[in-house]
């Protein structure tokens, strides 16, 4: 058979060629007792190595960009997907040298899980923190990179003003409902009532100011 220049034609009577390391119709490369081969069968084109000690390595300009091993594929550089990454339920995306940041979708209840010892949500430039979550510690919400609400072992800490557009119900139970430490409470309605706690005695002085 005469072939055009630059074409290598390997065939086996139009039959499927399984990558069994022995059949004809395969392109085989032997080196130092190890073998790689290309074969074609009903499942598609098979590119394989006959030894787990010899992974498949793909390179560009003599530089490795991908390596296929018995456990999966390692990619060096950027993995550019034109559509999306499709993974089954409970599969994980692990980041970091120690796999210490994990993204996971759990089918039960359609729960999305983010696992990490300290998680920060930042703006695109990475210059502002919008929320932070710390294992065995606080959860913090920010406004314009300034912390405004933080959870504590006792409850919450609020920095700034709390504006309510409906009634507030505070239940103290067996504990003190409200403790004021030299602070003012202003209740806005038809009138403004300011309650001032005297630092020298245990009483409130109520002052009414007409709006």
Burial of 183 from C-beta contacts in 10 A (0-12 / 13-18 / 19+): exposed
Residue 178: band (very low, low, confident or very high) from pLDDT cuts 50, 70, 90: low
207: tokens are: 């002052």
Total residues belonging to the chain: 211
pTM: 0.60
Tens digits of residue pLDDT in 95-142: 999 999 999 998 877 888 999 999 999 999 999 999 999 999 999 999
Question: Is 129 in contact with 122 (CB distance < 8 Å)?
Answer: yes
């Amino acid at each position: 058979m005469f072939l055009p220049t630059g074409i290598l034609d390997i065939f086996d009577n139009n039959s499927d060629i399984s990558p069994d390391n022995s059949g004809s119709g395969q392109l085989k490369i032997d080196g130092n007792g190890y073998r790689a081969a290309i074969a074609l069968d009903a499942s598609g084109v098979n590119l394989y190595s006959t030894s787990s000690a010899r992974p498949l390595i793909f390179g560009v300009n003599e530089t490795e960009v991908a390596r296929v091993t018995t456990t999966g594929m390692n990619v060096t550089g950027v993995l550019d997907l034109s559509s999306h990454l499709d993974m089954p339920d409970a599969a994980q995306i692990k980041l970091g040298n120690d796999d210490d940041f994990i993204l996971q979708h759990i089918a039960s209840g359609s729960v999305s899980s983010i696992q990490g010892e300290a998680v920060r949500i930042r703006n695109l430039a990475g210059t502002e923190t919008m929320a932070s979550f710390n294992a065995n510690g606080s959860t913090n919400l920010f406004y314009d990179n300034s912390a405004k609400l933080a959870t504590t072992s006792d409850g919450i800490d609020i920095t700034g003003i709390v504006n309510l557009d409906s009634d507030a119900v505070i239940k103290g139970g067996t504990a003190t409902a409200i403790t004021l430490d030299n602070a003012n409470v202003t209740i806005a309605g038809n009138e403004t009532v300011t309650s001032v706690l005297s630092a020298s005695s245990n009483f409130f002085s109520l002052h009414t100011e007409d709006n």
